[in-house]
């Protein structure tokens, strides 16, 4: 090989190539003089691969310079090809040197998301990660660490730790910082409110499900409820009320009439009508309660207010008999409402509410003579099945009047004093299964633990309202002791006795019982939370150890466990930190460890090299991480780690099964975003600001985000549904949201939607997506050069040298240019030094001239000239538009696309640039892809079962370095 190089190849190169590719300014910055032997060529095989391709295509040497004979050209090409094949086979399967490296910004964000359950994205202020020669930002070749970046990692770790929230059994992470009381309350309240909102409580859905059962009696109610995501417990109750044996009078008679006359062509509309009738009726018959009056106490005083709240909460499935009237009853008289709050006001307000209900005139509330017993039985049955509410989401300061003062979620309604009250008994009794009940109970327990709202309400109440029992007026209170003193049991029960004295003076036994109950509940709750906090501390330390194990993506060693727990103990004892502060700082320590923030793919303990080339097998945990960061750009999940723990992940069938499972997971979006985004060069488009928004006002942030999202969703569909990779080029479909559909001139859509035939709108597949067309436009004109270059370089994988430094710029605004871009480019190609490269890609770009600077379809350019999409391709074929590009690729370059996709995916998966030794694997990937119907999984299967993916280079060997 060396003899042929020195005797034949080098003389040819010196004779025909060194004149341009040598001297002080070598063409394309490629100097051929340093290559003196085969080893030097092997070391830089990528450049010589380009030499082979250009010489074989007779593109080099350029026209007008001395040309080699056909024999010389053939000898040069054959030697380079033989060298490549020889070196590739000699070291086939070499894992190469995969450097230990930090997590990329995207990997760090996604790993934090999966580690904490909160999408915190702490790398927002990090510098952009540089790409390696393969174009990806996930390799040790580019992901270095500087002192300033290390400081940003520390800030990011602290930001994550600030989202931590302690729970009775461990800790969680909130989507926002959790440093003050209002943060804690917001977090806990939102979880409960979101739980409520997820529950199926719409009566119309149950009526519709019952109707389906009536039409298809072979389908069980349980099956129908499951399919419709309704409560299996509640649907039979609805069915029984509509079809079972019961008193058929009043509201039940009317509801059943509506049910029996269900119009087959308007089932949903009738079900909604039935629901609205029930909701209206239950609002009119809901129970009303007044606080027990105590002279000198406001009706909103907490002890008696809580009695009223519990009365409402415990009668949600009852009805107010006073709301029913006989048809012979005289009209109601308007009650007199006292002007000043206090004794009698609540009763008068209740009477006014009843009168307002009676005036609504709902016929179901009017009882015919002699039918009271039947009507009351019907209302009792109806109210038992249909509560007045399933839960109370918010309560204003003027409860039960909810006409104003919105947004006080879960509030007890203590006027201006904070406080919360749980009112969801009907949801527990009618809708939730045992699992749901336990979850809701846990959420309320954690709300009390996290928000500590009973203690804080009590302290506020004591100082702001205890004056009312002393006769000093509300909010006049006494001297202020410390909070710790205020929550002591003697203080709580001392205030209770003062209230009892007031109630006793009013001779109101209900109020006295309400007062005793209230203060006992306050003391019990405060004491319970105190015990829970003490009991939770060791659980938090165990949770910290479990967190560290998840962060390190493997079980902790004994030494690591001691280090983590010892650091926590040191923070408590030596530094005097509180328990919560010490847990937060310990989390920071874990996140700053290289075991979390770095990818270090270690081999199994005691593993020996398989052979001199293929290196040492990775440990199962390292393999799990390599697989998850390849397919998800994030950490392994529990399923993958469980296989690592079993030690069976190296088995090909297990590894491929896990890969297929992961490809279907929504986290595979990480592959679509990070791999495809870097491969196709749209990863930074969300920050694209080159568009003149005055000239293109439709291009706003929402459209920019939609443009970015379109290829991600397209790729995600190919990946997760294992479609043909050829759909990327030839697909007729795409994905649009309302903003993008309008931009494309498509019919209106409500959300992200797949458009199966987008060709009438000039879309389909990757090539005409506006994200690529827009980012390849300078701003006020298109750029056929950049668009064509993107196709041949990014999609087809051609290696094209950079342009000379002195290339003149084309006009920046096509509206102000005298010639269309097509003619300006033709003049540019008259320069022989430019023509060779431009001939390779200009035609691809000219085919997109019917798309403007923001990817909009057009028939005229910005200067008003008709656009022309005809192009003459490198083989002389004349084609037009995107269809022409697609057909040219299909007829001439499909193999190049497949080869390029294989190379890019392999480089991304291994986290390094490719070596000559990877060539057999690339060929195998392409062959298996074609044999597998071009399904994406064929590429993944070949990669994850390859020796390169399963192994790491042995410690003693570094020879592969020479291949780079």
- d(CA 666, CA 859) in angstroms, rounded, equals 40
Quote helix, strand, coil % in the chain, to nearest 5.
Answer: 55, 5, 40
**Residue 570, number of CB atoms within 10 A of its CB:** 14
Quick one: pLDDT at residue 353? 59
pLDDT tens digits for 742-774?
A: 999 999 999 999 999 999 999 999 999 999 999
Q: Which two tokens stand for residue 117?
A: 């359950």
- d(CA 297, CA 342) in angstroms, rounded, equals 7
Lowest-confidence segment of 129-138, 261-270, 324-333, 826-835 by average pLDDT: 826-835
- Which position has the higher pLDDT, 249 or 604? 249
Quick one: pLDDT at residue 333? 59
3-state SS, one letter per residue, for 911-941:
CCCCCHHHHHHHHHHHHHHHHCCCEHHHHHH
- Which position has the higher pLDDT, 811 or 624? 624
Helix (H, G, I), strand (E, B), or coil: what is residue 376?
helix
Question: Which spans in 735-791 are helix H?
Answer: 738-744, 770-775, 784-790
Q: How many contiguous H segments (helices) and E segments (strands) does the chain have?
A: 43, 12
End-to-end Cα, the chain, rounded Å = 19
Percent of the chain topping pLDDT 90:
63
Quick one: pLDDT at residue 343? 39
- d(CA 695, CA 856) in angstroms, rounded, equals 13
Identify the CA nearest to 688 among candidates 771, 744, 766, 767. 771
For residue 460, what are the CA distances in angstroms to 450, 454, 475? 18, 10, 10
The pairing of beta strand 870-872 with beta strand 366-367: unpaired
Quick one: pLDDT at residue 802? 67
Q: Which two tokens stand for residue 556?
A: 């902790």
Q: Supply the angle between the helices 203-215 and 267-285 in degrees, to the nearest 10.
A: 130
Is residue 394 within 8 A of residue 410, CB to CB? The reply is yes
Is residue 729 within 8 A of residue 767, CB to CB? The reply is yes
Lowest-confidence segment of 133-137, 423-427, 517-521, 704-708 by average pLDDT: 133-137
Which among 189-203, 341-355, 606-620, 792-806 has the top mean pLDDT? 189-203
400: cis peptide before it, omega within 30°?
yes
Is residue 624 within 8 A of residue 645, CB to CB? The reply is no
**Cα Rg of the chain, angstroms:** 37
* Per-residue exposure over 459-498, b if at least 16 CB sit within 10 Å of its own CB, e if not: bbbbbbbbebbeeeebeebeeeeeeeebbeeebbbebbee
Residue 792 has pLDDT above 50, yes or no: yes
Place 964 in a pLDDT band, splitting at 50, 70 and 90: very low
Residue 826 has pLDDT above 90, yes or no: no
pLDDT tens digits for 604-636?
A: 666 666 666 778 999 999 999 999 999 999 999
- d(CA 33, CA 55) in angstroms, rounded, equals 18
pLDDT tens digits for 386-400?
A: 999 999 999 988 777
Residue 849 has pLDDT above 90, yes or no: yes
Provide mean pLDDT across the span 544-572.
97
Provide mean pLDDT across the span 290-317.
90
**Residue 774, number of CB atoms within 10 A of its CB:** 26
Please give the mean pLDDT across all residues of the chain: 88
Phi and psi for 626 in degrees, rounded to 5?
A: -60, -40
* Per-residue exposure over 784-813, b if at least 16 CB sit within 10 Å of its own CB, e if not: bbbbbbbbbbbbbbbebeeeeeeeeebeee
Q: pTM (2 decimals)?
A: 0.86
Phi and psi for 367 in degrees, rounded to 5?
A: -95, 125
Contacts of 147 (CB under 8 A, 6+ apart): none
Quick one: pLDDT at residue 614? 76
pLDDT tens digits for 850-863?
A: 999 999 999 999 88
Paired with 735 in beta bridges are 754
Contacts of 851 (CB under 8 A, 6+ apart): 762, 768, 770, 773, 782, 857, 858
In this structure, the chain runs to a length of 964
């Amino acid at each position: 090989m060396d003899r042929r190089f020195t005797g034949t190849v080098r003389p040819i190169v010196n004779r025909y190539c060194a004149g341009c590719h040598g001297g002080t300014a070598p063409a394309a910055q490629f100097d051929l003089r340093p290559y003196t032997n085969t080893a030097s060529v092997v070391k830089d095989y990528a450049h010589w691969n380009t030499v082979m391709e250009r010489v074989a295509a007779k593109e080099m040497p350029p026209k007008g310079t001395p040309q080699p004979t056909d024999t010389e050209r053939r000898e040069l090409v054959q030697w380079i090809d033989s060298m490549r094949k020889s070196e590739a086979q000699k070291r086939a399967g070499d894992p190469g040197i995969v450097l230990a490296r930090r997590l990329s910004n995207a990997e760090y964000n996604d790993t934090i998301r999966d580690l904490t359950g909160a999408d915190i994205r702490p790398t927002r202020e990090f510098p952009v990660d540089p790409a390696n020669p393969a174009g990806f930002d996930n390799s040790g070749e580019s992901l270095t660490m500087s002192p300033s970046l290390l400081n940003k990692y520390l800030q990011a770790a602290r930001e994550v730790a600030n989202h931590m929230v302690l729970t009775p059994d461990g800790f969680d992470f909130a989507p926002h910082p959790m440093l003050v009381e209002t943060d804690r309350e917001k977090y806990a309240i939102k979880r409960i409110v979101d739980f409520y909102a997820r529950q199926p409580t719409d009566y119309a859905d149950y009526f519709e499900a019952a109707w389906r059962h009536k039409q298809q009696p072979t389908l069980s109610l349980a099956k129908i409820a499951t399919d419709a995501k309704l409560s299996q417990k509640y649907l039979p109750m609805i069915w029984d009320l509509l079809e079972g044996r019961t008193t058929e009078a009043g509201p039940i008679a009317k509801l059943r009439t509506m049910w029996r006359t269900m119009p087959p062509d308007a089932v949903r509309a009738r079900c909604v009508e039935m629901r609205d009738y029930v909701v209206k009726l239950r609002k009119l018959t809901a129970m009303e309660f007044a606080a027990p009056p105590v002279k000198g106490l406001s009706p909103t005083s907490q002890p008696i207010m809580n009695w009223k709240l519990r009365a409402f909460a415990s009668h949600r499935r009852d009805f107010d008999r006073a709301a029913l009237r006989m048809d012979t009853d005289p009209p109601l008289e308007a009650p007199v409402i006292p002007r000043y709050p206090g004794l009698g006001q609540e009763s008068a307000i209740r009477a006014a509410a009843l009168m307002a209900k009676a005036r609504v005139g709902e016929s179901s509330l009017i009882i015919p003579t002699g039918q009271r017993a039947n009507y009351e039985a019907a209302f009792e049955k109806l109210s038992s099945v249909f509560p007045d509410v399933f839960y109370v989401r918010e309560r204003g300061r003027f409860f039960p009047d909810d006409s104003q003062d919105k947004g006080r979620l879960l509030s007890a309604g203590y006027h201006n004093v904070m406080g919360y009250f749980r009112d969801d008994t009907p949801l527990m009794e009618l809708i939730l299964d045992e699992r749901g009940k336990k979850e809701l109970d846990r959420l309320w327990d954690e709300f009390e633990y996290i928000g500590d709202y009973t203690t804080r309400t009590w302290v506020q109440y004591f100082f702001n309202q205890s004056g009312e029992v002393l006769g000093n007026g509300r909010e006049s209170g006494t001297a202020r002791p410390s909070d710790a003193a205020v929550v002591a049991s003697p203080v709580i029960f001392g205030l209770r006795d003062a209230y009892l004295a007031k109630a006793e003076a009013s001779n109101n036994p209900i109020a006295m019982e309400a007062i005793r109950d209230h203060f006992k509940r306050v003391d019990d709750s405060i004491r319970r939370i105190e015990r829970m906090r003490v009991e939770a501390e060791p659980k938090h330390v165990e949770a910290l150890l479990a967190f560290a194990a998840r962060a390190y993506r493997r079980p902790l060693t004994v030494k690591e466990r001691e280090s983590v727990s010892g650091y926590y103990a040191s923070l408590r004892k030596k530094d005097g930190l509180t328990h919560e502060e010490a847990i937060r700082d310990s989390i920071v320590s874990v996140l700053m460890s290289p075991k979390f923030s770095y990818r270090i793919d270690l081999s199994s303990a005691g593993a020996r090299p398989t052979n001199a080339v293929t290196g040492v097998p990775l440990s199962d945990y390292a393999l799990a991480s390599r697989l998850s960061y390849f397919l998800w750009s994030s950490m392994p999940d529990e399923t993958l780690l469980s296989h690592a723990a079993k030690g069976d992940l190296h088995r090909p069938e297990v590894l491929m099964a896990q890969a297929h499972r992961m490809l279907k997971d929504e986290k595979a979006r990480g592959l679509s975003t990070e791999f495809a985004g870097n491969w196709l060069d749209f990863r930074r488009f969300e920050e694209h600001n080159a568009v003149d928004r005055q000239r293109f006002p439709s291009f706003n942030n929402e459209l920019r985000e939609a443009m970015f999202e379109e290829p991600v969703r397209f790729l995600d569909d190919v990946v997760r549904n294992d479609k043909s990779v050829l759909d990327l080029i030839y697909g007729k479909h795409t994905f649009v949201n309302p903003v993008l559909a309008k931009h494309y001139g498509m019919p209106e859509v409500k959300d992200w939607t797949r458009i199966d035939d987008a060709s009438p709108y000039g879309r389909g597949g990757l090539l005409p997506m506006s994200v690529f067309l827009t980012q390849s436009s300078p701003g006020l004109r298109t750029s056929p050069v950049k668009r064509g270059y993107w196709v041949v370089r990014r999609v087809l994988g051609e290696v094209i040298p950079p342009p000379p430094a002195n290339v003149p710029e084309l006009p920046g605004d096509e509206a102000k240019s005298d010639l269309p871009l097509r003619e300006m480019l033709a003049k540019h190609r008259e320069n022989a030094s430019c023509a060779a490269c431009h001939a390779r890609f200009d035609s691809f770009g000219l085919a997109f001239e019917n798309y403007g600077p923001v990817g909009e379809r057009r028939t005229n350019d910005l200067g008003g000239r008709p656009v022309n999409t005809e192009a003459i391709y490198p083989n002389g074929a004349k084609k037009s538009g995107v269809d022409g590009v697609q057909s040219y690729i299909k007829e001439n370059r499909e193999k190049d696309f497949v080869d390029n996709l294989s190379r890019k995916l392999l480089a991304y998966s291994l986290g390094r640039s490719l070596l000559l030794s990877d060539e057999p694997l690339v060929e195998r990937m392409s062959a298996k892809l074609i044999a597998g119907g071009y399904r994406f999984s064929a590429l993944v299967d070949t990669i994850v079962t390859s020796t390169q993916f399963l192994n790491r280079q042995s410690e003693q060997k570094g020879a592969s370095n020479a291949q780079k």
